[in-house]
């Protein structure tokens, strides 16, 4: 019996290790940044066999897992920059830079956070997204295929994605597509 299961009511139906809420994507994300199996097992409270099973699943479902990781990166990067701007009381990163130059931001941000925000901005732009705009994405709930379908507004304070069901079907697997406002 496979250690990897997918059930719609747990972790949004994403592939996960049986009897846990740990997703294949969680394991693969750590593998991609060079974590050792033993450390992954310790941190995620899973076994080495679970990790092997996740890797096997990944081999056969590379697109599904890679797309999910990319999509979650986009959500995370947008969220990070927006929280950072809120903390600095700025509406964009240029304003943060100006404030730093004028010595108005001595406590926050730390340089590390500012540099992380800049690298998130670059990463988003490489993927065709903008940190400043609230954007509309359509995403398959099964194979995680997604595409940006438009910009909604310029609102850097919006943090939580709105998810709306649609009647559209995924061009790749035929599953239901959902709209995300991010």
Q: Which residues bind Zn ion (CB under 5 A)?
A: 140, 142-143, 145, 170, 172-173, 175
Write the burial class of residue 29 (CB in 10 Å: 0-12 exposed, 13-18 middle, 19+ buried): middle
Tally the residues of the chain: 182
Q: CB of residue 65 vs Zn ion: minimum separation in angstroms? A: 13
Which residue number, 17 or 140, has a Cβ lying nearer to Zn ion?
140
Please provide residue 149's backbone torsions phi and psi, each rounded to the nearest 5 degrees: -115, 5
Tell me the closest approach of the beta carbon of residue 15 to Zn ion, in angstroms: 14
CB atoms within 10 A of CB 17: 23
Cβ distance to Zn ion smaller for residue 23 or 82 = 23
**Angle between the N-to-C axes of helices 93-101 and 111-126, in degrees from 0 to 180, rounded to the nearest 10:** 150
Judged by beta carbon, residue 138 or residue 145, the one nearer Zn ion is: 145
Q: In angstroms, rounded to a whole number, what is the distance separating the alpha carbons of residues 24 and 102?
A: 46
Write out the two tokens for 126.
């490489």
Give the residue with the Cβ less far from Zn ion, 151 or 171. 171
In angstroms, give the least distance from the CB of 61 to Zn ion. 12
Task: Please report how close the Cβ of residue 26 comes to Zn ion at its closest, in angstroms.
Answer: 21
| Minimum distance of Zn ion from residue 177's CB (angstroms) | 8
Q: Which is nearer to Zn ion, 99 or 178 (CB)?
A: 178
**Residue 71, C-beta contacts closer than 8 angstroms, at least 6 positions apart:** 137, 139, 144, 146
Please state, in angstroms and rounded to a whole number, the distance separating the CA atoms of residues 153 and 93.
18
Neighbours of 51 (CB within 10 A): 24
């Amino acid at each position: 019996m496979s250690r990897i299961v997918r059930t719609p009511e747990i972790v949004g139906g994403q592939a996960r290790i049986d009897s846990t809420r740990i997703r294949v994507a969680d394991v693969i994300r750590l593998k991609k940044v060079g974590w050792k199996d033993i450390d992954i097992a310790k941190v995620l409270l899973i076994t080495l066999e679970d990790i092997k099973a996740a890797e096997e699943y990944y081999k056969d479902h590379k697109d599904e897992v890679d797309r999910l990781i990319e999509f979650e990166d986009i959500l995370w990067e947008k969220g990070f920059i927006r929280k950072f701007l809120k903390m600095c009381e700025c509406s964009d990163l240029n304003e943060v830079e100006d404030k730093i130059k004028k010595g108005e931001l001595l406590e926050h941000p730390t340089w590390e956070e500012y540099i992380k925000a800049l690298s998130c901005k670059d990463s988003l732009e490489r993927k065709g997204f903008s940190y400043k705009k609230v954007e509309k994405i359509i995403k398959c709930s099964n194979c995680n295929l997604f595409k940006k379908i438009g910009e909604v507004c310029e609102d850097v304070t919006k943090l939580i994605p709105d998810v709306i069901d649609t009647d559209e079907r995924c061009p790749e697997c035929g599953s239901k597509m959902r709209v995300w406002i991010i």
